[in-house]
Amino acid sequence: MVSSDEQPLVHDIRLSTVGPGRVTGQDVVHEPTNMDQAMKLHYLRGVYYFKSQAVQGLTTSKIKESIFTWLNNFYHTCGGFRRAESGRPYIKCNDCGARFIEAQCVKTLDEWLQLEKDDDGSLRRMLVSNQVVGPELFFSPLVLLQITWFKCGGMSVGLSWAHVLGDAFSAADFMNSLGQVMAGHQLAQPLKLAQSHISAKISPSPPKSKDPLSVKRVGPVGDHWIAANNSKMKAFSFNLTSTQISHFHTKVCGQIGTNQIPFFECLCAVIWKVVAKIRDGPEPKMVTISKNDPHGRKNGILSNGQLISIVKADFSIMEANPKELAELVLNQAMDERSTIVEAVERDQGLSDLIVYGANLTFVDLEEADFYGLELKAQKPAYVGYTIDGVGDGGVVLLLPGPKDGPHNGGKVVTLIMPEDQVLKLKFELKKEFSIA
Partner 1 sequence: MPSPTVPEFSKSVKLKYVKLGYQYLVNHILTFLLVPVTLSIALQLIHSSPNDLLALWNSLHFDLVQVACSLFLIVYIATFYFLSRPRTIYLVDYACFKPPCSLRVPFATCLEHGRIILSSQPKAIQFQMRILERSGLGEETALPPAIHYLPPEPNMAAAREEAEMVIFSAMDSLLKKTGLKPKDIDILIVNCSLFSPTPSLSAMVVNKYKLRSNIKSFNLAGMGCSAGLISIDLARDLLQGHPNSNAVIVSTEILTPNCYMGNERSMLLPNCLFRMGGAAILLSNRWSDRKQAKYRLVHVVRTHKGAEDKAYRCVQQEEDPEGHVGISLSIDLMAIAADALKSNITTIGPLVLPASEQLLFLFSLLQRKIFKKKSKAYVPDFKQAFEHFCIHAGGRAVIDELQKNLQLSAEHVEASRMTLHRFGNTSSSSLWYEMSYIEAKGRMKRGDRIWQIAFGSGFKCNSAVWKCNKTIKAPIDDGPWVDCIERYPVYIPDVVKL
- Which residues here bind partner 1, judged by CB under 8 A? 14-19, 21-23, 26, 61, 64-65, 67-69, 80, 94-97, 136, 139
Residue 93 CB, nearest approach to partner 1 (Å): 10
Cβ distance to partner 1 smaller for residue 102 or 283: 102
Residue 126 CB, nearest approach to partner 1 (Å): 19
Cβ distance to partner 1 smaller for residue 20 or 401: 20
**In this structure, what are the phi and psi dihedrals at residue 48, rounded to the nearest 5 degrees?**
-110, 125
The residues, ordered by sequence, that sit 6+ positions from 423 with a Cβ below 8 Å of its Cβ are: none
Residue 64 CB, nearest approach to partner 1 (Å): 5
Cβ distance to partner 1 smaller for residue 14 or 430: 14
Strands (E), 54-109: 80-83, 89-92, 98-105
Cβ distance to partner 1 smaller for residue 98 or 368: 98
Cβ distance to partner 1 smaller for residue 2 or 23: 23
For residue 220, cis peptide bond before it (omega within 30 degrees of 0):
yes
Q: How far apart are CA 34 and CA 216, in angstroms?
A: 15
Residue 166 CB, nearest approach to partner 1 (Å): 22
CA-wise closest residue to 388 among 132, 144, 117, 34: 132
Beta strands 143-149 and 98-105 are: parallel
Cβ distance to partner 1 smaller for residue 12 or 420: 12
Residue 103 CB, nearest approach to partner 1 (Å): 13
Handedness of CA 325, 328, 329, 330 (dihedral sign): positive
Pair 13, 103: CB distance under 8 Å: yes
Residue 300 CB, nearest approach to partner 1 (Å): 22
Instruction: Please provide the DSSP assignment of 294-359 as one string.
Output: GGG--TT------EEEEEE--S-STTS-HHHHHHHHHHS-EE-HHHHHHHHHHTTT---EE-BTTB
How far apart, in Å, are the Cα atoms of 235 and each of 50, 231, 371? 22, 13, 21
Cβ distance to partner 1 smaller for residue 101 or 399: 101
Residue 71 CB, nearest approach to partner 1 (Å): 10
